[in-house]
Amino acid sequence: MRDPRDLYRFEDAEVLAAVPRTGLTLVHALPGLVDAGNACRIASTYLRDELRHLRLVTFDMDELLDYRGSRPQAVFDGTSYASVDIPELTLSLMYDEADRPFLFLDGPEPDLQWRRLSEALIDLVEFFDVERVVGMQAVPMAVPHTRPIGLIAHANDPSLLGRPGTRPTPAPGTGPSEDGEEASEVVVPAAFGAMVEHELGRADHPAMGYAAQIPHYLTRTDFPAGALALLRRVSDAAGLDLPLVHLGDLTDAATVALQGTLAQNSEVRQIVTALEEQYDSLSEGGDASALATTMDLPTADEIGEHFERFLADHEGDGPDDPRSP
């Protein structure tokens, strides 16, 4: 393996000198196979818009991305290409509303060199004397948007999940069984964030994370409620004072727009009602796991397309979202 430190470069020395070296938390938003509801992107953009931050480290994306598989966006003005937007993976120093510093890592999930980048991040965790790492992720689940968003917690040290106020409640049917036993192991496609958490544990660095359970029919639609749920949990776990009032307003506006979609689409309304019944039945300890499979219902992609078409047809009708990139 080539030197992991060659994957990144430090920014201005004066900025580095301003970084405190005790009690830092590193928060990361690295979407995995899918960023359901664009929750990680919304959370990242919101934090960068709301909080004071300074760039500390920039990573070499030519080493980490497959541009043919993750093609950059090019702007063509009718005559020439005005720009080509290469995604960035950066580590920044941020300050919360109480002026407490923390580190923030965000950008696209790397296509290549996962082990080498993991080693590079461990090197940075040690360089900045990071106390804890907290990650965000959003995954699609068969849950309705009209119920509280479930959060799946994970950590390389189980004691991190036992502290008061840090254990979230997952959606019904996704947590421990009624007799208190943990759910059986499952094998899932790994996200880079999962590998980082695992490797940090092997290096004796505590790391934890939260995966928001986003309604599967909203996977490809902006869902600010997912970002809000993640940032609330990260704020609690990391002891940060994050400004969430404006994001709450955006969430309320998005919910109103979503209800407008349901009012005009009986097919989508029926599937949401079925998911509500399943959710409520599981919450009460019943077994409604077969509900969605015993009905002739559209797939998640088909439902998502209904929402996307509605939003495209009514673009500009709802409140503007200044957090959109």
Query: What domains, with CATH codes, occur in the chain?
Result: 4-243 (3.40.50.10900), 252-313 (no CATH)
Is pLDDT of 8 > 60?
A: yes
Q: How far is CA 39 from CA 30, 183, 229, in A?
A: 11, 26, 9
Segment 182-191 shows an average pLDDT of 79
Q: How far apart are CA 148 and CA 171, in angstroms?
A: 8
Q: Chain-wide mean pLDDT for the chain?
A: 85
Is pLDDT of 58 > 70?
A: yes
CA dihedral 257, 262, 268, 271 (to 10 degrees): 100
Is pLDDT of 318 > 60?
A: no
Furthest CA-CA distance within the chain: 67
Segment 281-300 shows an average pLDDT of 50
Give the angle subtended at the CA of 299 by the CAs of 293 and 215, to the nearest 5°.
Answer: 90
Task: Report the pLDDT value the prediction gives residue 51, as an integer from 0 to 100.
Answer: 97
Segment 154-159 shows an average pLDDT of 92
Task: Report the pLDDT value the prediction gives residue 268, as an integer from 0 to 100.
Answer: 79
Segment 27-45 shows an average pLDDT of 94
pTM, 2 dp = 0.83
Would you say 36 and 140 are in contact if contact means Cβ atoms under 8 Å apart?
A: yes
